[in-house]
Structure 1
């Protein structure tokens, strides 16, 4: 792996020296981008004048950096080139970077008149080592570092201002409003060009664009972050849900549904009231105290627990597997909402399983089989991460050790030893967990499924079962989701498939186009045959140009567009345009079309049948 030398070190990394430290590429990128943030700030100050600029913070971020300013005027896209040119000019000066440690008083004097820097200095602990970095002789910034040794190391830098947006100082909308300049930054032009190519492809796949275009979903300001599923989108949603249900029925799950609103007493017992209240939608009751409050559920687990406790349970009931796709609500900040990816109302594909300690290994192995089957159907790859006992864990350490050992054995068996990551100390306080991370068509990784062992909620709710030896024992709860949330997963699928869904998942699978109105009668026969076979079919009987009808169905990315005219009506056949194929299939018997569709629905095919044998 290529190594880089970087000047400077941070105050909390004494093992680094002024002579430099070798860093791997990813670490270097952070240093490189952070150094460019200082170049950006220096450029803005030189353009507008030191006395007219208040500069705040400028961290490196994924794929680039940003810096926050208060400026004498609002920036526009016309300013981008001017700022970029000034940055290149500064880099070409080959100025040295100098690190200094200063006292608190020296720092305050140095940044006199800079309100944001002054506030940061005043907020530092009394014993904090304060470091500053000079770029040349005329620009200084409050920073821990490290940075490049000389701006000449940035000579090949490839960067481009991405945008300017508003931001509040320290994220507080009551504080100063700043202008945030975002910059893409890579070590060379080739990498920047490749990244911009990726961005273009990602923009074309954007589910927030494709969803409304294909009439799948919408949002309204009266319910922020709460999607409306339109008729086409709801068909897709239910196709996905039917697929999910079919798999779980094979594995012995029973589906339940529970209240969306529950009294605060339930959430106090579960612990959500104390740990998650700020993310819950709460409705005050008649009484003024919180015991009469109600809350929209942010999670389904208490529902599952109450169903388990509906009657006495014995070892014969275990594993007790229930799944649930109820609506849940989680309060989010408006700036964090993002299409279907981050919403306030969604349906999580929850499952909760109650098992004895002896059944943990077999049950989780079964869950992994379900995950493999579901993800494999979409052609999506995924990897697993095991998160182990945190410092603030609850429960018996021996049970933890046993659970972690069993999870490792399962992952070793499924993936092979060493083919998964272990995040030490990153488990939930109530039990270790396995997270499933999935890659899409653009190579982006998403946190999707999770499998969590829980020893705490069964304790909080006094859950019991009669063991085979006559004793009363406490079950272990497994929280489990494969999609994570239906909405988010559909958003990912929209972008993964670019709106061209597999046949079995498409909102409408066949669009029927009679060439003229006299062909409507035969078109009705085609539609009837397809719908009797549970094929989602739409048809345009209007008296308008055939190509106009075809264009509409192509916009919706229907997998098959079936055209019928005199020849087809006489022969009992259809002509088919297969999505993504230039050549039409002519003279296909109607019964053959029906069988093709049945096959793809039954097998959940990833590819369309594009030829007739």
Structure 2
């Protein structure tokens, strides 16, 4: 489902802050809003740093006002809300010790060391106290602490803050909005009438001017979290919340969360009997049930057909291999932490236990590319064979940490639709453009059509290969991305150790972004595997290798599509495409005949012969999100017809059987991605 793009905002006019005056006074003199969703809450200086409105530069400075309804503005609001939460916690739970409280995507959290876990009743009490603090218009006031020793003295009762201060004294670094830059700062909350300090926190800021500038928030949940993310450290209580520039924006966000919960693929997987995660199998290792298997098969079969049309050749490779293969590819050096531990095999001992044949380590494969390189290298290759496009639905295994595993979207065992293209340097640019077109067209066929591209460039601390090779590969990807006409976003340092990449970011029906297909240009693995081709002049040359995953993994793509469609898959993907519902037992035979005709057209159809009443059958199959419900009563039987009931409750009556069968088969054959309705699906001869 495509979503309308937000209009590009007009550039924010710059304002000049006169030396010795505050940014807030300059904003007011410029007539910019101080209230409402577009209120200016901070400014950005020439170096790109966000500054409080109370900031007063030593010389005239041009700044960019930052409004509440921008990403940076919301981040500042959320960080300020985290401080208000911490203040409320210490007022209601004086023994609580403070951890950290940063803004995060769409919200904020704060960690606390408390005697007992927070309860839902505690959250309600904390929300009430936060509203009182916000109503009090306390002023956020930045204060520089003179020295590390002074900070230690002031924070003597806060052990976690002291640890951050000690980190600061050891190395000039930043720790999640707490310390940073060249100084230690505290933000005090001041009473607006007396100016007295009510509360304070170690923080680098910035913050909104007053608590009144936090117009809408709510606390959402509590979770356990280890201090600084290390399981060897104490476990703290983490309270999550969200804050926005207006009540309307908060309400929209909460409704989006509610809809996302309704669409959660883990929930729908159980309700629709698609897949499960048995404890006996292990974390992150799904099994697909018959209905889920049907959906998955359709996803794969259509992809296979398109790849055949695109000139790909199908290959297969084993799930495990000797470790030497991954030493050659570099995975054992660069990716070992993401691999399952080795299996030591093939060792032989004599009757005295003396080793007569050394064993060796085997690994479950995390990637398919080394195997494809061996296939390429299995015989001599001519330039006339290039580009050579090898494709595999290859199962790979990655040891994701248990806290990261999430349904189908983050698993330990997955099947990649993995392709590797070997081409000459001269073919590279055209091949990448063709690949990108192929990828985008196929994703559109599955119903995703709102994209932007992300270009991940070299991590300067983790890469192999020459600067020249990386530059050539990156330039080729950038040119193809720009030629696509899609928005291009840079991801500096986000590339794998061996190659830069383009990733296709797709927005789903809720506007959420998912990373889908990736295209990587690799100049390194052809060297590592000594891959060659014979050029027209008879010389031996290195091919360029392009890695391409379209779904990323079948499992993840299945989860994304489940949420995109809310479980109501298009008819061509639905596990049950048609269900026949007789009004009475006398009408079953008629629907069995209709079902036989549909099956002859390749349609997946069932007839509900249970003892349930018709209305309950309709409710049951609507809940199961069947796209076509075909009903039959006495008039339908007499006239050789059927009636239709759709997911949205719409109905069509008296459609001749032959017409109905042809129309259903045509709808499925066209791979329509919308749900059929009485308005969009109206075969000739329907009575309405």
| TM-score (structure 2 length as normaliser) | 0.82
Structure 1 residue matching 2:324: 3-state secondary structure: helix
- Of 407-416 and 447-456, deviating more is 407-416
Match for residue 291 of structure 2 among 232, 246, 249: 232
Aligned to 1:124, the other structure's residue is in SS state helix
Match of 2:103 in 1: 60
Matched position secondary structure for 1:347: strand
Alignment check: 8 A CA contact 2:321 2:362 kept: yes
Structure 1 residue 505: deviation in Å?
Answer: 0.8
Moved more, 385-394 or 447-456: 385-394
Q: In the alignment, is the contact (CA less than 8 A) between 1:517 and 1:542 conserved in 2?
A: no
Q: Which residue of 1 aligns with 2:629?
A: 561
Who is 2:449 aligned against?
380
1:571-593 C-alpha deviation (Å, 9 max, x unpaired): 4432222332422232322x323
Q: How does 1:267-278 map to 2 (within 5 A)?
A: 267-278=326-337
Q: Offset at 1:527? A: 2.1
Aligned counterpart for 1:44 among listed residues 57, 77, 89: 89
Q: Secondary structure of the residue that 2:403 maps to in structure 1?
A: helix
In the TM superposition, 1:132-151 aligns within 5 A as 132-136=186-190, 137-151=197-211
Question: Relative to structure 1, is the Cα distance of residues 8 and 505 closer, same or farther in structure 2, using a 3 angstrom cutoff?
Answer: closer
**Aligned position for 1:241:** 300
Aligned length: 605
Alpha-carbon distance in 1 for matches of 2:251, 2:113:
31
Residues 494 and 501, structure 1, Cα contact 8 Å, conserved in 2: yes
**Which of 298, 310, 313 lines up with 2:381 in the alignment?**
313
Task: Establish whether residue 34 from structure 1 lines up as the match of residue 101 from structure 2.
Answer: no
**How far does residue 424 in structure 1 lie from its aligned partner after superposition?**
4.9
Kept after mapping to 2: 8 A contact 1:97/1:151: no
1:338 equivalent among 406, 409, 414: 406
Query: Which residue in 2 is equivalent to 1:443?
Result: 511
Matched with 1:106 is 150
Q: CA deviation at 1:305?
A: 1.3
C-alpha distance in structure 2 between counterparts of 1:426 and 1:172, whole Å: 24
In structure 2, the residue corresponding to 1:326 is in which secondary structure? strand
Cα distance in 1 between the residues matched to 2:474 and 2:44 = 41
Kindly state the Cα deviation for residue 422 of structure 1 after the two structures are TM-superposed.
3.8
**Which residue in the other structure is 1:117 paired with?**
161
* Structure 2 Cα separation of the partners of residues 174 and 339 of structure 1: 27
Give the whole-Å Cα distance in 1 for the aligned partners of 2:216 and 2:292: 41
User: What are the superposed Cα offsets for residues 342-385 of structure 1, whole Å, 9 maximum, x if unpaired?
Assistant: 11111111111111111111211221221222122215211122
Gaps spanning 5+ residues in structure 2: where? Answer: 1-11, 13-37, 58-62, 173-182, 191-196, 348-354
Mapping of residues 245-394 of structure 1, within 5 Å:
245-286=304-345, 292-377=360-445, 378-391=447-460, 394=464
Instruction: Choose from 580, 588, 592 the match for 1:524.
Output: 592
Instruction: Call closer, same or farther: CA 1:290–1:359 in 2, change over 3 Å.
Output: farther
1:389, distance to aligned residue in structure 2 (A): 4.6
Separation (CA, whole Å) in 1 of partners of 2:157 and 2:543: 63
1:521-562 residue CA offsets vs partner (Å, 9 max, x unmatched): 433322222222111112223444333333332221111112
* Change beyond 3 A, Cα 1:47–1:601: same
Alignment partner of 1:243: what SS?
helix
Displacement of 1:211 in angstroms is 1.5
Please state if 1:498 is matched with 2:573. no
CA drift of 1:399 comes to: 4.2
Q: Is the 8 A contact 2:574 2:626 kept in 1?
A: yes
Alpha-carbon distance change, 422 to 337 in structure 1, aligned in 2, over 3 angstroms:
closer
The change in CA–CA distance for 1:458 and 1:131 in structure 2 (over 3 A counts) is same
85, 93, 104: which is aligned to 2:128?
85
- Deviation track 1:219-266 (CA, whole Å, cap 9, x = no partner) reads 122211111111101100111111111111110112222111112111
CA contact (8 A) 1:131 1:142 kept: yes
CA RMSD of aligned residues (A): 2.7
Question: Which is further off, 434-443 or 82-91?
Answer: 82-91
Q: CA deviation at 1:87?
A: 1.8
Report the equivalent of 1:168: 226
Distance change >3 Å, CA 429–CA 23, structure 1 → 2: farther
d(CA) in 2 for partners of 1:112 and 1:14?
Answer: 29
For 1:410, the equivalent position in structure 2 comes to 480
1:112 match: secondary structure: coil
Q: Distance in 2 between matches of 1:596 and 1:290?
A: 66
Q: Deviations over 1:183-232 (max 9, x none)?
A: 11112212111111211222221212112111111112221111111110
Determine the C-alpha separation between the residues in 1 that align with 2:394 and 2:421: 17
Whole-angstrom CA distance in 2 between matches of 1:580 and 1:251: 38
SS at match of 1:232: helix
Tell me if 1:611 matches 2:670: no
**Aligned equivalents of 1:538, 1:177: Cα separation in 2:** 52
Q: Is residue 464 of structure 2 the alignment partner of residue 421 of structure 1?
A: no
Query: What displacement does 1:55 show?
Result: 1.0
Cα 1:403–1:334, aligned 2, differ >3 Å: closer, same or farther? closer
Assess, with a 3 A threshold, how the Cα gap between structure 1 residues 140 and 369 changes in structure 2: closer, same or farther: same
Aligned with 2:654: secondary structure?
strand
| SS of residue matched to 2:396 | strand
More helix by share: 1
Contact 1:55 1:114 (8 Å CA) reproduced: yes
Aligned to 1:211: 269
- After superposition, the Cα gap between the structure-2 partners of 1:74 and 1:414, relative to the gap in structure 1 and judged at 3 Å, is closer
TM-score (ref. length: structure 1): 0.92
Contact 1:385/1:422 (<8 A) preserved: yes
Distance 1:389 1:300 in 2: 22
How much does 1:567 deviate?
4.2
- Larger displacement relative to structure 2 (40-49 or 521-530): 521-530
Name the stretch that deviates more: 468-477 or 173-182. Answer: 173-182
2:142/2:185 contact within 8 Å kept: no
2:22 corresponds in structure 1 to none
Mapped contact 1:457–1:477 kept (Cα < 8 A): yes
Matches for 1:193-208 after TM superposition, within 5 Å: 193-208=251-266
Secondary structure of 1:410 counterpart: helix
User: Is the CA contact (8 Å cut-off) linking 1:284 and 1:290 kept in structure 2?
Assistant: no
Contact 1:132/1:142 (<8 A) preserved: yes
* Mapped contact 2:584–2:633 kept (Cα < 8 A): yes
Q: Deviations over 1:386-430 (max 9, x none)?
A: 3345535544444444444433333333217xx423445544443
2:137 & 2:582 partners in 1: Cα distance? 71
In 1, the alpha carbon distance for the partners of 2:659 and 2:553 equals: 37
Deviation at 1:35, TM superposition (A): 1.8
Distance 2:287 2:376 in 1: 32
Question: Would you say the 8 A contact 1:8–1:146 is kept in 2?
Answer: no
